[in-house]
Amino acid sequence: MKPLSIIKSLIFVILTVMLFSCTQYVPVQENYEKISFDEFISRLRAIRQIKGTADISMQMHDAYMSGMASMKLSPNEYEVKLYTLGIPVGEFRERGGVFYSQPKLKPEEEQLISLCIKNGLFWWINNVNNITTEGRYLKIKQPRQQMVLDSESLMPIEQFIYLPRGGILHIAYGDVKWLGGVWYPNRITATVGGYKFTIVTEDVKFER
């Protein structure tokens, strides 16, 4: 191959890499029912309970835990039981504002896991008074919380929770499917500092 041809090929490769590197994430558009924002929020608010199973992994500084989990949660309480090879290895729940964890975690870790579970699985924000549209993104803002949706499909993209002690909990939603008349993420990844919490749902059912 001539030197000039080699240079042209290299330029093409470099430009191609730059193009794909600068491309913003675009949610995969599947078949879904196009409804108004108010109707969409109304359907989400009607969900009283979520039940299902998921593959869960938790990285907490030097500690790591993972396994298959059974889940049962409502907006104000939840129960998650973690199993490895059918053997119970962990349990996390909140009832009446009281946290329980086994193995026992620090109070701030229990609260963080609670935020990851509740805000990850019950991903929507009920108070939608402050809404702005920025390009292809629709943002719902509260003093300590911000939700980002795709403005056209209303598909959830990410969420930011501003923690009382400082730091921002980032929750990203992936492999989002149209389920039971609403968008629901199959993969939820929450990160802050040295913590990483991942939920990959296997089977999810809504009770309205």
**DSSP code per residue over 131-194:** EEEETTEEEEEETTEEEEEETTT--EEEEEEE-TTS-EEEEEEEEEEEETTEEEEEEEEEEETT
- Whether 155 is covered by a domain: the verdict is yes
How confident is the model at residue 23, as a pLDDT? 32
190 is in which domain, residue-wise?
Answer: 35-207
Query: Which of 189, 191, 184, 188 shows the shortest CA–CA distance to 205?
Result: 184
- Whether 3 is covered by a domain: the verdict is no
Contact 125, 142 (CB under 8 A): yes
How confident is the model at residue 146, as a pLDDT? 95
Token duo for residue 47? 């969900």
- Model pTM? 0.83
Contact 157, 169 (CB under 8 A): no
- Whether 29 is covered by a domain: the verdict is no
How confident is the model at residue 1, as a pLDDT? 54
How confident is the model at residue 21, as a pLDDT? 38
Q: To the nearest whole percent, how much of the chain has pLDDT over 90?
A: 75
How confident is the model at residue 15, as a pLDDT? 36
How confident is the model at residue 125, as a pLDDT? 78
Domain count, the chain: 1
Mean pLDDT in order along the chain per 10 residues (208 residues): 46 37 46 92 95 96 91 95 96 94 92 93 85 94 94 96 94 96 96 95 95
Domain with residue 85: its CATH number is 2.50.20.10
Residue range 42-81, pLDDT digits in tens: 999 999 999 999 999 999 887 899 999 999 999 889 999 9
